[in-house]
Each structure stands twice: as C-alpha cells, then as structure tokens.
Amino acid sequence: MPSEQDNTALAAIIVAIIAFFVTTGQLLQQIFGTAVGYRHCQASVIGEWATLTRRKWRWSEFRFETKYTTPNIRLIEVEDCARLTKVRLITGDLESRRRTHVTSISNPDDDKSGDQVNPDDDESGDQVGWLALLDQLHLFQENYRMKGITPNITIDRPMLEMNCPAITLRERSWDLIPPDIIRPVATSTVGDIIALAHRLGMGWSDLRPGDGIMRAEGGGRSIVSTAVRGFGVLLQFNYEPAKYDVSNYDGTVPSTPADKLGFGIIESGIGFGDIEIESTNETEAAKEVMHLLNIDRAVISKYGEYMEQSGNSLGFSDILGMWAPFMTLPGSSVVRVMKVLRDVDRGPTCSREGFVAFYLRLKKSKKEGACSEQMLYLLSTYRKLKEKWDSGWQLPMHGGRGFAASPEFLSEIRKLWSEVADRFREKHSSTSPFLFFHVLQAHRTQAVEYPVLAKAALNDTAQREKIEEGLGSSMDLEMAAGMHLYIDRIPLVVSFMKKKGIHDERLVIDTWWTLIFRAMLWHRGHDIMEGKTRGYGGIPVSPSFWGSKLPVYIA
C-alpha cells in the first residue's frame, strides 16, 4: 500500500499539474488577448468576411497582431476584368455572392450555407453597414440580369460595355484603426460612391467630401458621413427593410456614359470631347453648354433672357440626343438615364409631334424631287420602323416605356443609330469629322429662336394649318411647329457653314437631316428620369467628382 509520503507527493504533483495548466491558460489568454480588435472581426460583426480574419505573431513585440480583410468597393468596366484577375464582379448570382462573401439577405433560399440573415432581426443590426451595401448592389445586379444584362466576360461580348460594381480584397492591420472606430471598415472612392448611390436611387442633399460631409438618400436607402480626425471620411450606409424590394425600380443604364450624366457630363457620341456642366442654375448651365459649343455670345445672351422669362429651355433641350452616345446596352430593356439638363426630355426630336412633322416634310421633299440619296434612305428607314412598330415608333419613351422598351425594339434602334452615321461617313469618306460638330453648332444657333417663332407661327392662320397637317387633335402643336421651323431654317444652317468654309450645300443638308434623325433614334432608346437634373431630387453633382480617387471608408 502506498505510504502517506507517496500520497502527499502524488497530491503535490496533481496540484502542480493543475497550476501549470492554469498558469499556461492564463499566459495563453494574455498572449491571445494581445490580438487587439480580433473580437470586432467576428461573424456577428462582419458576416462571412470573418473567415478571412487571422492573427499574426510578432516576435519583436511578443504579441499577436490582428489582420482582417474587407472589400474595396468600386465601379469597373467589365472589359477590364479580363486583365485584372484580382477583381471580383458583383453580379447578383450565387457564385458571385460566395466570391464576395455576402450571405443572401433578401432571398435566403438562394444561399445554402445555413447562415442567412433576416433584415428584420435585431442581430443583423450589429453588422457593419458595408455588408448591406454589398447586398443591395447584388440585388440591383440581379435585377439587371433579369432585364437582359449579364456581365459574362467570356461569353457575352456586347456586355463588355457594362460598368459593373466590383470588389478587391484588402487585408489590413487593426493597429492602424483609430480608437473611435470599433468595427472593420470597407473602402471606396468619392467618385465611385457617388455613382453607386445614383445606381441605388439616391440623390445627394449635401456633398462636400473635402469638409468630410456627404449625405444622400432615396429609395429607402441613405448615406451619412462622419469626419474622423487623422483617418478620413467615414460613411454609414442604411436601408429600410420595408423598402428592400427593387423589382419596382429598373435602375439606370449601367454604363460609363450613363453614370457620367449624374455628374453633369455628356459624353460625346459624334467623336468629340465631353461636355461638362458646372453651373447649378438651369439658365447658366444652358448658357455654359452653348459657350462650349462656340455659339455666338449675342445668341447666348438673348437665349438666356428667354429662358429666364419663359422658364423652359425648348429650342436647346434636344442637345442631349444630338451629342450623347447610345447608352442602352445590347439585349437589355433597361433604358433609364439621369436628367442632365432641364427639358432634355422635351423638344421636337423627342416628341411624337416632332416625329410626325419630320416624316411629313421628308415625304413632301420626295414628292417635290428635292430628296438626296441620304434623305431617301432616312425616309425609307423611318417608314420601315413605322410599319413594323406601328405608332409605337412615334410614341415618346419618356414617362411611359410600354412595349417599346422590348429588347428587340431597342436592339433595332441601337443598330440603326450606328448605321445611319456609318453609312453617311462611308459615302463621304473625305468628310472632316468636324462636319457633324459644325452642323450641330449651326443648328443650335438657329434652334434657340424656335420657341418665340413657334408661338408667332401658331398665331398665323396659314402657318397653323400647315403645322396641324397630319396631327391628331390631342397633339402639342408647339412641338410640331418646332420641327417645321427647324426644317424651314436649313438655309440659315447652310449659310452658317459657308462662313466656316464648307460650301457643299448638299453635304450640309444631308448632314443636318442625319443629325436630327439620329437624335430621334437616341430618344426612342432612352427614358430620361423625371424630377430634378443630375439626381433623384438632390443637388446637382459637379463634374469634378467624376473619377475622384479621394478615399472614403464605409463603417
């Protein structure tokens, strides 16, 4: 039998072993406790991104450093993804959600991980806001896919025109987090966040990122900012679960030219530079654009006075359709674009009355033997569209999309928009690319007088009868009068071009008809948003913010 001395020794060993494990546990606890911020990077805070959190041992400091990974959220041309292998597109499908570590919130059945989050649960409120932002972007991209936009860079070549939200992974050290911030932050840039906010249906109520102030809201979503000293601008993204459904909102066309409109930039579709609109005052904005087009100062001043008195910009409003590229993507029924200037959704080139007057005058020119080959081609093209799509071809896109937004219709319009100009350029291969610009400039110089002249024409019995010809009783005669006046003033456009050194009258006239018809095609392929310009009821955004790389952090 063991002696009392043996029992005492055994007890001492057991106590020593227990003390060893307790001391070791306390030591390990203290060592692992040196990983400051690690508990702030758990799944309850950053969802599936917690799987990318790790501890890194630093021998020189005898402690653990917390390394966490968050997304850098950006907009990217789909075509660029072929060379940027580390970019992960946000497309809304299950594979994309897995690659971007975003559990489905709105449709848990789409995710099989068993880790779904209900937006109505209180626990989901403990998570970082950028998870909700990523989920919302996925929802919108899924909506785009349902409407014919699939950014597949290996199969769907036309979709390379798409501008798609994406992320890159960035590993950071918690050592660099200021004490005021208690959760991991995602990153982005001012330019990308503004464009993404527009995509999500938000307008900006205050935008001074240099002062740390950015506020936007709309569609049940909001962005507010806080300036963190020594860190930068910290954004918080919030949404209302009751307004989570995006099926009743198409979103804007997901392409770079369409995004630019939200910044007051009209990209050129006729081979020239962008038009950038800085002024927030509508009259000043129109005068600014006219100045960029080198319109005579006296004409600009006169038109500015007219705008102030009338409160509209008719006669100038069709500049968007004449200058901008075709933005609706191939195979897609998403046609909405942002309103860059007042009344750009009104005018002879985007109204049914203008279409009818255009067609009637072309037919009259043919009857009188005054049609060139190009004019006959435009007449034939118009007639085919009218026969195929009935009155739908002439109905306005703005305010009521109807069947005209079908992918088949839009594809045909898009194709013709390109072909009309390509055919003209091929026929006149020696023509300078400045011809379109100068004819547009000449047209704008004459068109700004249309509102005043239209009213005078409608007060003249003979002219009114000509304007009413072919129109229904419910049509806007002023719009029809505008197109008639445009055509009647072609000789003035010809005279203007002669002063520019272009004396080929036939070439100038054909260019004018081509330019007008392309503007009509453009407006039949786009639905301009109602409300204030450059946003969803918010303040206009300065072009200087487009492409801004000023970093922002999303809490």
What would the two tokens of residue 319 be?
């500049």
Domain ranges of the chain: 4-32, 71-253+544-554, 313-528
CA angle at 119 for the pair 115 and 122, rounded to the nearest 5°: 90
Per-residue pLDDT at 380 exceeds 50: yes
pLDDT confidence band for 157 (50 / 70 / 90): very low
Percentage of residues of the chain with pLDDT beyond 90: 32
Give Cα 228 to chain centroid, integer Å.
29
CB neighbourhood size of 363 (10 A) = 15
CB neighbourhood size of 51 (10 A) = 11
Distance CA(295)–CA(289), nearest Å, equals: 9
Q: Is 275 helix (H, G, I), strand (E, B) or coil?
A: strand
The amino acid that residue 82 corresponds to is A
CB neighbourhood size of 76 (10 A) = 20
What's the pLDDT tens digit per position in 349-363?
988 889 999 999 999
Q: Under a CB-based contact definition with an 8 Å cutoff, are residues 322 and 520 in contact?
A: no
Residue 34: what pLDDT? 63
The amino acid that residue 124 corresponds to is S
Distance CA(504)–CA(439), nearest Å, equals: 12
Rounded mean pLDDT of 98-120? 56
| Mean pLDDT lowest among 218-232, 272-286, 326-340, 420-434 | 420-434
Q: In which region does residue 262 sit, left (phi positive, over 0), alpha (psi from -120 to 50) or beta (all else)? A: alpha
pLDDT confidence band for 405 (50 / 70 / 90): low
Distance CA(550)–CA(555), nearest Å, equals: 17
Nearest to 252 by CA among 317, 162, 131: 162
Q: Under a CB-based contact definition with an 8 Å cutoff, are residues 7 and 19 in contact?
A: no
Give the alpha-carbon dihedral of 51, 56, 57, 60, to 10 degrees: -160
Higher-confidence residue: 229 or 135?
A: 135
pLDDT confidence band for 116 (50 / 70 / 90): very low
Nearest to 104 by CA among 112, 116, 96, 88: 116
Distance CA(22)–CA(14), nearest Å, equals: 12
The amino acid that residue 255 corresponds to is S
Per-residue pLDDT at 107 exceeds 50: no
What's the pLDDT tens digit per position in 233-275?
999 999 876 555 555 566 788 889 999 999 999 998 877 788 9
Rounded mean pLDDT of 194-215? 92
Per-residue pLDDT at 67 exceeds 80: yes
CB neighbourhood size of 529 (10 A) = 21
Helix or strand (DSSP H, E) at 553: strand 551-554
Q: Give the max Cα distance, the chain.
A: 133
Q: Under a CB-based contact definition with an 8 Å cutoff, are residues 310 and 508 in contact?
A: no
Q: Under a CB-based contact definition with an 8 Å cutoff, are residues 66 and 38 in contact?
A: yes
Rounded mean pLDDT of 543-552? 94
Q: Under a CB-based contact definition with an 8 Å cutoff, are residues 128 and 186 in contact?
A: yes
DSSP symbol at 326: P
Residue 218: what pLDDT? 85
pTM of structure: 0.86
DSSP symbol at 231: T
Distance CA(517)–CA(406), nearest Å, equals: 21
Residues paired with 554 in a beta bridge: 186, 235
Residue 108: what pLDDT? 41
Buried b (16+ CB within 10 A) or exposed e, 309-320: eeebbbbbbbbb
Q: Under a CB-based contact definition with an 8 Å cutoff, are residues 385 and 524 in contact?
A: no
pLDDT confidence band for 124 (50 / 70 / 90): low
Q: Under a CB-based contact definition with an 8 Å cutoff, are residues 514 and 372 in contact?
A: no
DSSP symbol at 350: S
Rg of the Cα atoms in the chain = 31
Q: In which region does residue 205 sit, left (phi positive, over 0), alpha (psi from -120 to 50) or beta (all else)? A: alpha
DSSP E strands, 251-387? 265-266, 275-276, 336-337
